[in-house]
Amino acid sequence: MNKLLIGATKSSPKVSLDAETGLLEIEGKSYPENASKFYAPIFDWIKEYLKGPVAGSIQLNLEIIYLNSSSSKILLNLFDMLDDAARRGHEIVINWRYHEENETAFECGEEFAEELTTAKFNLVKIPAE
């Protein structure tokens, strides 16, 4: 399975998905004009990865500086999919990284964490420089 790499734009995050390591990273601002269209290849890649013979653990590192409501809904769907995979026996760890001065990102992470029942969700504070 190939890596999926998507470069950041002014309104969409950088994405890196690596099947060899199970490491998924999404970083930056997320307010694309069409969030469903932007995130569709990410959902497809993860679904395919979870079917594969080497599928096991996934570590998702998110560092979202800003997101709009449609991106928030998409991320909830992503977390639901990963939580379902955790219930089926996959080891799923989600690290929500936020800058300590970004209270909104922290609160958003807290709300996302409440939605999960099986996948592990960590709030990871990035200290101010």
Q: What is the pLDDT of residues 66-101, one digit of tens each?
A: 999 999 999 999 999 999 999 988 999 999 999 989
Q: For residue 78, how many other CB atoms are within 10 A of its CB?
A: 20
In angstroms, the Cα distances linking 74 to 8, 40, 42, 60, 102 are: 17, 9, 11, 15, 21
The residue range of the domain holding 75 is 4-126
Residues 78, 35 contacting (CB under 8 angstroms): no
Asked whether the predicted pLDDT for residue 12 surpasses 80, the reply is: yes
Q: What is the pLDDT of residues 93-115, one digit of tens each?
A: 999 999 989 999 999 999 999 99
Q: What is the DSSP letter of 33?
A: S
Confidence of residue 55 (pLDDT cuts 50, 70, 90): low
In angstroms, the Cα distances linking 116 to 5, 92, 105 are: 26, 11, 17
Number of domains in the chain: 1
- What's the rounded Cα separation, in Å, for the pair 48 and 52? 7
DSSP H/E element including 124: strand 120-126
Q: What is the CATH number of the domain that holds 55?
A: 3.30.750.24
- What's the rounded Cα separation, in Å, for the pair 11 and 23? 23
pTM of the model: 0.92
